[in-house]
């Protein structure tokens, strides 16, 4: 047999051995990845814009039975009509249940009739743990300071963009919140984080959450705290509020 033919056969043999070895390696990686972790739980995500089956229904338009008033042992007194809860000057409302890390969905609408300017137009707020406010404000053609705009982590981080719809139109917040935790040594807190989609647009991208925002009801890092909706004197409307503890 000629020397070249022997060499060619040898090369082909080595190539097929290498191929077989890499296939075996790929198979073992694939098998390994198949074995990892428990199978994720099946949930029903619901219709588009609906509530997932594993979420806690905080307000579906029926009543404010999951909420209390601003003062200890007081009732939530916002008006509920035609599936909507409206701020009416009777104080902020807080959930009876307390939460830590969570995914939160809130829909809100600033008054259709434009009144006031800056921070005086359609002001309310979503306070995670009654401490960290995601600002609710009508910033549609309404100037104010950046870290007080719609979707700001109030006084800390401005939103990445202004994605406001016109006043009167329904808007949504989808929030991923990891609460600051009390430090293991008891001194201070381990920062949390906040991600917010406003009308489906990313406006807070995993920003650090440290201390309470200005005008928060409570201070200090806690494992769990109530969700609070702010009464800032403007008749902001709310609907379809749900939360998934993480
Ligand atoms: Mg506010």
pLDDT by 10-residue block (mean), the chain, 246 residues: 54 55 52 75 91 97 98 95 98 98 98 96 98 98 98 98 98 98 90 98 98 92 96 98 98
How much distance in Å is there from the Cα of 161 to the middle of ligand 1?
18
Number of CB atoms found within 10 A of residue 154's CB: 23
How much distance in Å is there from the Cα of 84 to the middle of ligand 1?
19
How much distance in Å is there from the Cα of 223 to the middle of ligand 1?
24
Give the pLDDT score at 142: 98
How much distance in Å is there from the Cα of 56 to the middle of ligand 1?
24
Number of CB atoms found within 10 A of residue 116's CB: 14
How much distance in Å is there from the Cα of 100 to the middle of ligand 1?
21
Number of CB atoms found within 10 A of residue 33's CB: 9
Beta strands in 183-233 (DSSP E): 189-190, 192-198, 201-209, 225-229
Nearest to 152, CA basis, from 118, 198, 99, 184: 198
Give first-to-last CA distance, the chain, whole Å.
70
How much distance in Å is there from the Cα of 24 to the middle of ligand 1?
59
Q: Whole-model pTM?
A: 0.86
Give the pLDDT score at 224: 97
Give the pLDDT score at 37: 85
How much distance in Å is there from the Cα of 216 to the middle of ligand 1?
10
How much distance in Å is there from the Cα of 135 to the middle of ligand 1?
5
Backbone dihedral angles phi then psi of residue 19, each to the nearest 5 degrees = -65, -45
* Distance in angstroms (rounded) separating the CA atoms of residues 154 and 127: 10
How much distance in Å is there from the Cα of 230 to the middle of ligand 1?
6
Residues 6+ positions from 170 with CB-CB distance below 8 Å:
107, 108, 109, 239
How much distance in Å is there from the Cα of 217 to the middle of ligand 1?
12
* Distance in angstroms (rounded) separating the CA atoms of residues 123 and 235: 8
Give the pLDDT score at 48: 85
How much distance in Å is there from the Cα of 187 to the middle of ligand 1?
29
* Distance in angstroms (rounded) separating the CA atoms of residues 106 and 173: 5
Q: CA-CA-CA-CA torsion for 62, 241, 101, 191, nearest 10 degrees?
A: -130
């Amino acid at each position: 047999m000629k020397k070249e033919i022997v060499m060619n056969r040898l090369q082909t043999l080595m190539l097929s051995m290498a191929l077989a070895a890499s296939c075996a390696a790929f198979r073992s990686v694939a098998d390994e990845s198949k074995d990892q972790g428990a199978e994720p739980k099946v949930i029903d995500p619901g219709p588009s814009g609906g509530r997932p089956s594993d979420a806690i229904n905080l307000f579906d338009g029926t009543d404010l039975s999951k909420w209390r008033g601003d003062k200890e042992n007081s009732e939530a007194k916002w008006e509920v009509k035609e599936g909507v809860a409206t701020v009416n000057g009777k104080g902020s409302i807080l959930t009876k249940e307390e939460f830590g890390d969570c995914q939160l969905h809130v829909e809100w609408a600033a008054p259709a009739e434009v009144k006031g300017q800056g921070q005086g137009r359609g002001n309310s707020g979503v306070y995670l743990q009654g401490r960290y406010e995601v600002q609710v404000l009508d910033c549609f053609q309404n100037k104010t300071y950046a870290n007080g705009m719609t979707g700001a982590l109030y006084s800390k981080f401005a939103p990445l963009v202004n994605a406001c719809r016109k006043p009167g139109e329904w808007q949504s917040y989808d929030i991923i919140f990891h609460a600051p935790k009390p430090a293991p040594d008891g001194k201070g807190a381990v920062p949390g984080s906040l991600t917010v989609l406003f009308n489906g647009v990313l406006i807070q991208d995993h920003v650090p959450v440290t201390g309470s925002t200005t005008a928060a009801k409570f201070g200090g890092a806690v494992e769990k705290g109530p969700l609070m909706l702010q009464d800032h004197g403007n008749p902001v409307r709310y609907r379809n509020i749900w939360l998934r503890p993480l």
